[in-house]
Amino acid sequence: MNISEAAKRSGLSSKTIRYYESIGLVKVAKRSDNGYRDYSESDVEALRFLQRARATGFGIEECRQLLGLYDNEQRHSSHVKSLVLEKVEQVESQIAELQAMRNTLNTLASRCAGDEGPHCAILDELSTLGEEESNLEEGK
Amino acid sequence: MNISEAAKRSGLSSKTIRYYESIGLVKVAKRSDNGYRDYSESDVEALRFLQRARATGFGIEECRQLLGLYDNEQRHSSHVKSLVLEKVEQVESQIAELQAMRNTLNTLASRCAGDEGPHCAILDELSTLGEEESNLEEGK
DNA sequence: CTTGACCTTATAGTTGCTGGAAGCTTTAGT
DNA sequence: ACTAAAGCTTCCAGCAACTATAAGGTCAAG
C-alpha cells in the first residue's frame, strides 16, 4: 500500500512517516517499481505502535527504546514498566507546573477590573511580581 | 550597567536578553564607548516584566502584546484581562491532556507484571490500543 | 490529453532559546 | 608591565518533532 494509506491506517501523517524513516525510527520502506514507498501490514503495525506511544506522551527516543523492547523476545517486562512509571512522574510534574501557572493567571485576572479604564492590576503585578514576597499566592 | 548585571536583576540570561533584542521584543540597547550594551533601570524593568510573563505561561508573541499594552496609556484593562483568561483556557486544556496521558500510563503500568518475563501488557496494549473500543479507560 | 491527486526529494521554518567559536576589552594579580 | 581570566561582541548550529513549500515525476479518470 502507498504511504497515504499507511498514514490513514496508522493515524500518522505521510510527512511524519517519512520523517520517522529519515531519523531511523522505522526501517526504510521498500519501494514499488514507480519509486513509491510500499507498506505491508506489519509496517503499519509498527507505525500504529508509534502513534500510540507518542500520543501517550513518550518522546521519540523513548519510542525508539519501546520499539526495541517490542521487537526483543528477551525483554523483561519490568524494564518496560519502569519506563512507563518514569514517564508518569514526568507528566505529573508537568501537570503541577501548569496548575501553578493557571492559579497565578486566575489570581491575576481576579484582581483586574476588566473595564474601559487603563488601570490594570495584571500589568502592575507582572512588573513587580515577586518583589514583595509574592502576595499573589497568599491572596493578600 | 552591563548585560550580565541586567541579566541578574531581571532573572533572564544574557543570551536570552540578546535574543529578545534580536527579535525586536525589547528595544535595541544603547552602547557604551567600548561597544558593550548599557542598560538603565527602566530597561531592566521591561526585562523583568518579560521574565514574569514568560514564567506565567505567555508565549513570545503574547508578551509582545502585553508589553504593548503596558506601554500604552490608552489601554482598556478589559483587553488585558481577556488575554489572561484566554491563556487560562489554553493552560487548562493542556492540563486535561496531560491528565489523560497520566491516566493511560497508570492503567498501562497496573496491567504489567513488571517481572523477569518477556510478556508485557504495556507493549500489547500500545500495539492494539483503541482497536476494541478502548478497554483502557473503562478498566475492563 | 489534460486535469487533479498522488508520490518523490530537498530545503527552510516553527518556538524559544542554548551552546560554541573567534575575537574584542577589561580587570585582577604578580 | 605583563598575563591570565572573565566578560563582552557577533554569528552560526542545534534541540524537538514535525510542518510547509518548491519543484518535479506518476497515475487514474473523463
* More confident: B134 or B60: B60
Which 8-state DSSP code applies to residue A33? T
Q: Do B75 and A118 touch (CB under 8 A)?
A: yes
What's the Å distance between residue A10 CA and nucleotide D24 C1'? 28
Residues B21-55: tens digit of each pLDDT: 999 999 999 999 999 999 999 999 999 999 999 99
**Per-residue confidence (pLDDT) for residue A139, from 0 to 100:** 40
Mean pLDDT of A6-33: 95
Split at pLDDT 50, 70, 90, the class of A9 is very high
Residues forming CATH 1.10.1660.10 domain(s) in chain B:
3-71
Question: Exposure pattern of A106-122 as b/e (b: 16+ CB <10 Å)?
Answer: ebbbebbebeeeeebbb
* Backbone conformation region of residue B29, classed left if phi is above 0, alpha if psi is from -120 to 50, else beta: beta
- In A70-129, the residues whose Cβ lies within 8 Å of chain B are 70, 72-78, 80-82, 84-85, 87-88, 91-92, 94-95, 98-99, 101-102, 104-106, 108-109, 112-123, 126-127, 129
Residue B139 reports pLDDT greater than 80? no
Q: Is the dihedral of CA B18, B21, B26, B28 positive or negative?
A: positive
Average pLDDT, chain A: 88
- Answer yes or no: is B61 CB < 7 A from strand C: yes
Q: Do B120 and A92 touch (CB under 8 A)?
A: no
Residues A74-125: tens digit of each pLDDT: 999 999 999 999 999 999 999 999 998 999 899 989 999 989 999 999 998 8
Amino acid at B92: E
What is the dihedral angle through the alpha carbons of B23, B4, B63, B85, rounded to the nearest 10 degrees? 160
Split at pLDDT 50, 70, 90, the class of B131 is low
Split at pLDDT 50, 70, 90, the class of B140 is very low
Residue B12 reports pLDDT greater than 90? yes
The CATH number corresponding to A3-71 among 1.10.40.30, 1.20.1510.10, 1.10.1660.10, 1.10.10.10 equals 1.10.1660.10
- Answer yes or no: is A13 CB < 7 A from strand D: yes
In contact, A124 and B80? CB cutoff 8 Å = no
- Answer yes or no: is A57 CB < 7 A from strand D: no
Residue B128 reports pLDDT greater than 80? no
Residues B76-120: tens digit of each pLDDT: 999 999 999 999 999 999 999 899 889 888 988 999 998 999 999
What's the Å distance between residue A55 CA and nucleotide C5 C1'? 29
**Per-residue confidence (pLDDT) for residue A133, from 0 to 100:** 45
**Per-residue confidence (pLDDT) for residue B133, from 0 to 100:** 46
DSSP B95-135: HHHHHHHHHHHHHHHHT---SSSS--HHHHHHHHTTTTS-H
In contact, B61 and B52? CB cutoff 8 Å = no
Q: Is the dihedral of CA A35, A41, A42, A48 positive or negative?
A: positive
Who contacts A73 (Cβ-Cβ below 8 Å, separation ≥6)?
Answer: B118
Residues A23-60: tens digit of each pLDDT: 999 999 999 999 999 999 999 999 999 999 999 889 99
What's the Å distance between residue B7 CA and nucleotide D5 C1'? 21
